[in-house]
Amino acid sequence: MRNLNRKLIVAVDDSSIVLKMLMNLLGKNYEFVPFSKGSRALEYLTQKQPEKPDLIMLDVEMPEINGYQLLMQIKKLYGDVNVPPVIFLTSNNSKDDVMKAVSYGAKDYAVKPIVEGVLLEKIQRILSDSLWG
């Protein structure tokens, strides 16, 4: 059962190691729901409407559906204006990759291997933003 006093973060990454790290990092202070497949995350988001997440974290490179494609599906689900903030997680850190993430609507971008303190700071900043907090 969901604790309504805690912000809801949904993460999608095909790496179980990354999901476990995120669970350890975020599970104490946030309601954290991990998925290893984009299709499962979409199914969850569809069933949970109108209770939308406070933040979505998406791996860019995944076999079934990549993070950009998944974000486009999420935008269809919520509408461009109501999409929860998104942080892309990726090992790609070129300027072009960052610009692509921003052009798709990401609020931020975290490079793997993830530096926990930096990621926590990004999450806290996004969640405390007056538009979403």
Residue type, 120: L
Place of tokens 């999608």: 12
Query: 66-122, pLDDT tens digit by residue?
Result: 999 999 999 999 988 889 999 999 988 888 888 899 899 999 999 999 999 999 999
Distances (CA, A) of 29 to 3, 17, 80, 114, 123: 11, 20, 28, 18, 12
89 found inside a domain: yes
**CATH code of 122's domain:** 3.40.50.2300
Total domains in the chain come to 1
- Residue 130 pLDDT more than 50? no
The domain in which residue 51 lies consists of 8-128
Rounded Cα gap, residues 87 and 106, in angstroms: 6
Answer with the residue of higher pLDDT: 19 or 51.
Answer: 19
> Which stretch of DSSP H or E encloses residue 28?
none
**With 60 as the cut, is the pLDDT of residue 28 above it?**
yes
pTM for this entry? 0.92
